[in-house]
Every structure is written in structure tokens, then in C-alpha cells.
Structure 1
């Protein structure tokens, strides 16, 4: 590739040597393109041993090493401060090829870099008998320079965020013009107040926002100053609380606490009810309308009571104000699992009442962050067959044969499941087994057993079929009370309990 650059430069030199001005200008454009692409300087360095002059680069304001020789006229003066003249390139540019940054080899006493010291070279304002204005332009008199305003200063960058003394102290910028124009923010102290940690003004510290003196948050949109800030909300009943900074477009961080004693936003977070920094890693719900990775989202079930909502400025060090959203949904208890036979679409708090069909098992995997990294296989231990595979979040209703099973877990990042838990429940919503991958790329769970749900012949539920079950059924037939034993006593599934069922049960007993 480097050889190609050199050949390109040499080719254009041969083509355009000794031709008219129109073609020369075209070549200068091509040379400029080569320089912009980073090839110019390389080609010059590679050509340093070639003593042939590149006439098209002479007196163009750019010191070319190949031309900085006596036979090339010392590059037409491009390499000395006193002889360089602006052309295609600016002699005064802060670059290694600029006149004052190059080696002046011309032995002529008038060719030197003395003017570089006092900034009086012919390509400077002083070198042309002019004054240099604040913006770098030249003028005959300082009064002819453009008028500088606050907007032209570095101070203007922060003029809407900090007071002028703060800008001068924190950044070292001169804010005198902004002060003269009356554009500086007025500080609390200027008005006779104190400045609270969140930027608000107050008569004394007791009036400042704090855990003991929080702002009452309202349902809907609320405003944060961008500093550490404390809010409070009171819930009259149990339900679900939503806290979201969707649309803020900045990196936010929120905590939910039940008391001030639990708060520790500068340490490990304290004993929080819920917390979120970036919504993509939230353990408390998935944000439906967040657009920026650093926005926060919390959706959590809470009992009635008073709560503290704390906005931390840990990742909002510029203290940019933003809006955040608060909502509350009253809790309705019931079965919230849509796979259950008694699913209640109105319920938002699961009361553990979900019922599933016989031999049906509910499987879920959820609760963690970085869920896209999670995957798993449910394996039959006896034959190694993969019965079910999935990721997170996951939920499904499945049937399983009695037997032993284990879970083979994977994590693509290699740091475990980050809170995801795989769980299987029986038809009465009772947990049979749960597992999480604590760390690493993969892992195996212990074996768990799916018991047989069949009670055929075991009418007294003692897990044994014997003569006691036969006596119970005989008495039920005599008393005409067989309905209560249909599930386990109707062995031939004809809807009746009779002598036929007794014979089958006796055969089971005799066959052991």
C-alpha cells in the first residue's frame, strides 16, 4: 500500500511537469486530496533520498523535505519563517510541515526563523504591519477588529448551568464579558440565601431537600434538578409502583426505600426495596418505552405505606435536569399465570392459587438482568434426551413423564445468570425444583424427580395398594357411596366402581 502511495505521487509529478496553469491547478487539487488522505507526508519521507525536485510543490506554503535543497531553491522559501508565503497551504499552521516547525537550511542571511520567535513573519499580522484580533484575523487598527461578545468566549459553554465565579473556578475561563453583558446566573448567595446540595436556594440547611425533608412526588411527570434528590410518596393500599426516566436521554439512577435508615446512595445502595441504573439490566421489570441505554426503570409490587424515591447524580455529574414518571396500580390478588386453568386477567398480584391440569407442569425462567445471555436444556437423566430448551424470560406449560431430570445451564458472557432463576411447579402451583447458574459459562443442576401422579387402586392414599383398599371399595359399593372414590377406584375408567374394579385391584395385589 505504501509503495502505491509513492507511485501515485511520482506519476502525477511526471504528468504535470512543465504544463500550463490550468493543468497545474488541477494537480494542486489532486495533491491536496492526497494530503487529506494521509499519503502526502509519507510519500515525501519515502522520496527523501531522491534528489530530483518536485517543482509542482515548490512555493506552495508546505515545506517539502524532497525540495528543501539548493538545487530545488530551498522549496521556494517554504521551509523558513522569513521566506514562506501563504499559498495553497497556510505557513502559520501548527503542523510539522509548517515553516516555523521545519528545518531552515537556506544559507541566505535573509532566510531564517528569527521572526518565528516574536511572531513577525510575513505570513503573520505583525509581519504585514497589522494587528492581530481576538479571533486571529488581521486589521489595521484594534478598533477595526470584530466586536467580541460573551457568546464568543469559552465561558459561554457553561453560562446556563453554572454561575460565572463557578465557571472561572472550575474551568479557568474568563467570564468578564459575560458579566458585563449581564448574562451570568445569579447565585443563591447573591440573593442572601444558601445553596442546597441539589442546587436549590434556601434560608438555611433545614429547608434543603434531604431524606428528612423530601419533595412530595405526584403521579405522572415529576422534575429532578439533576442533583441527588429525595422524593416521597404514600400508598394507601398494596399494588404496583412504576418509576421511569424514559425519554430523559441521560444516564439516571433511582432507588426506592421504605425509610431513611435504609438509605445509602453513596455506598452499596443500602437496604433498598428496588433499584435501577440502566433499564436494560433492571431486575424490576422491562421498560416498554425507554429509548436511551442509561435511562432507569422500576416496576415493583409493594404493600401499603410511605416510601422514599431517591434520584442519584452519580452518572449525571453535569447535573442536567430531567423529568421522570411515577404511577401506581392497585393490587388485585388472584392467579396471574395465563397458562393456569383459573387464570384471572384482572389480577396483578399472584396469590398462589393457580391450578394446572393433571400431569401438567409450569416452567419459568426469569428474574435476572442481561437475560439475552441465558439459555438452558432440560435433560432426561435416564436416556440423556433433551426434553425442553429455552432462555430468559421464559414460561410454558408442559407434560413430563415420571422420572429423573436435570438442567444444563449456559451463559454466553461467562458471569452466570445474574439473578435469573429456572423453576418448575406442579399442578397445584407447588415448587418442585429451582436452579440458577451462579457463575461461569455453563453448569449442571442436581437431579430432581417427577413423581407419578397415578393413584389407581390406592383409594386411601397411603401409596400402597393392598386389601385395605379393597375393603374400602366393598363398603362403598354396599353403602352406595362410591363417588368419592372414583378418581382412584375406577380402575377400568368406565365411570363406575363395581366388582370389575375389585377384581382388577386384587390382580394387582396378587401380581405384586
Structure 2
């Protein structure tokens, strides 16, 4: 223990996997702490009264990181993981923590130190931004909007532009009941990794919540809301000439009594396929994964080493995105004898 006449802060750092913090750093004002290797590290700081910024992050495998700070009496001062942004306040101080951004909904005019607690319109469902028919602007961050329909018919919400070649890559989810009921969602509407479009039957006076998700870093972009009547005639008629014949194809009109059920069924299929589609998409658009892969094979105890007369070497390696790989080997009874991943 160090000798400290001010505020003694004991910092206990833990790594769940036991291989260090993989580049993550806990910073308390100007002091930087980490676990270079292993599962645990300890540090003591002597800090004057005041408010200190605290952050943790900057590396990979952040989910393995945890830490806790205690005072000299053993009481918890602060605890967290990675990523983390916050403040540590010690002893007697005139600092008042709060939101100092005048544009925030929770702006505190008495606050002298911004504690990162500011929130803004659109940050959550209950403070959604009021959208309008026509063009609206999205920030590119996770952002909620709300819209109330004025007629019966079809509601179309889209981030596609007029020329059909928008470059921003978006994801849209639509809800009702204050985000309690999932109505529809769409990732890529138009045959390429890009904008999103949802068409749903609407009843006048229904309030929808729209959530634009920052899954692919789209940056700011516009989106449109259009109300229109439900179709009463077949649409998208095409004709292809044949030998003394013509082949016709069109989209039929869904009867009003069946329209809602038909669109709900389509939405359910989309939700069930969302994870698989997003995984395939991210394989093409995301950057390199961390080179350290935390995957290991486990031998079933009933088939432990030396329990058979023949040893077999199992190797799984040689490709990319190894954290996505898993496998099982079963015996003739269907029991798992070995499982693992890559490498």
C-alpha cells in the first residue's frame, strides 16, 4: 500500500479470458492502467479532492474487461467495463456534475462539469422526433421518429432517393404502441447494399414509431414518408411475346380484408431471416476481425485422451472470419464427442 494523505483509490482490474486487456486502457484523468497479460492487475492512486474523467476502451475483446475502484474504507467508488465514459468525484469539491450542452433535453444550467449524461430528441422511443409527410432528415446515428397517419391506405417510408441510386446504407424498423409492437423492418430495399423501404397498410390516426439504426455508418441522409391510397387495380403489368401468344404477368390486388394479414406474413419472414442476411452482408462490408481468436475445442469426458487405442489429430484452420466457425463430432449414438471452432 502507498502512503496517501488525500484520497486513496484502489483499482482492481480483471480480464475474463485471462489474456490481458488486448489494448484496452483504463484512464483516470492522466493515469493510464491496463492488464498487460493474465487475468488480474491492481493499482493504487492518491488523488486530491475534485472531479476526474474516467474512460476505458481502445482495444479488442472489450466484453472481457471489468474493473472496480474502492476508497480507503473499502467502499465502492466506481465500477465498469469497456467501453466506458464517466466521472469520479472525490472529497470536497465545488464541481457540479451534469449536462452542460444547451441543446440537450436535460441541460442543467447549474452544472459546471459535463458528465456525459446529455440526451437529445430522437435518442429513445419516448422522446422521438416528430416526422412529417414528405422529406425528413436523419442524423445517421440510432434515431427515433414518430408519425401519425391522416388517411386509410398504404404508408411508404424510404431512404431511397428519386434517382434510385442512394449510397447510404441504412436499416429501418417500424413499431406501434410506443415501440411495443414490431410492425415491419427492412435493410436493403433495392437490390444492393443501400437504402431501406417499408410499405405497410395504414389506418387514419395510427401513430408509428420509426427507428433508423446506425448499423453501417451511413452518415446523415434524408428519408421520405408518403401516404397513398391502397391499390384497387392490378399493377406492374408486363407482356412478353411468344409464338402466336403473349405471356402476361402482373401483381394482383390483395382484398382489403386480407391485406393486413398478407403483409404481416411477409414481415415475419423478413424478421426470421434478418440475422442470416445481416451476417452475409457484414462478411462483405466489415473490416478485418481481431487476429486473436478465442475459440477452443473440448473433448467429451467419456472419450478423453488414451481412452481409445487410436489417437486422431483434429485441425480446423486456413480461412477468414474464424470466430464464426463451429463444429461437432458425434458418435454412432448421436452423442457429441468433440466440439470446437477455428483455429
| TM-score bin, normalised by smaller chain | 0.3 to 0.5
Which protein, 1 or 2, shows the higher relative CO under an 8 Å CA cutoff with sep ≥ 6? 2
- TM normalised by structure 2 equals 0.34
- Larger Cα Rg: Structure 1 or Structure 2? 1
Going by fraction, where is strand more abundant, 1 or 2?
Answer: 2
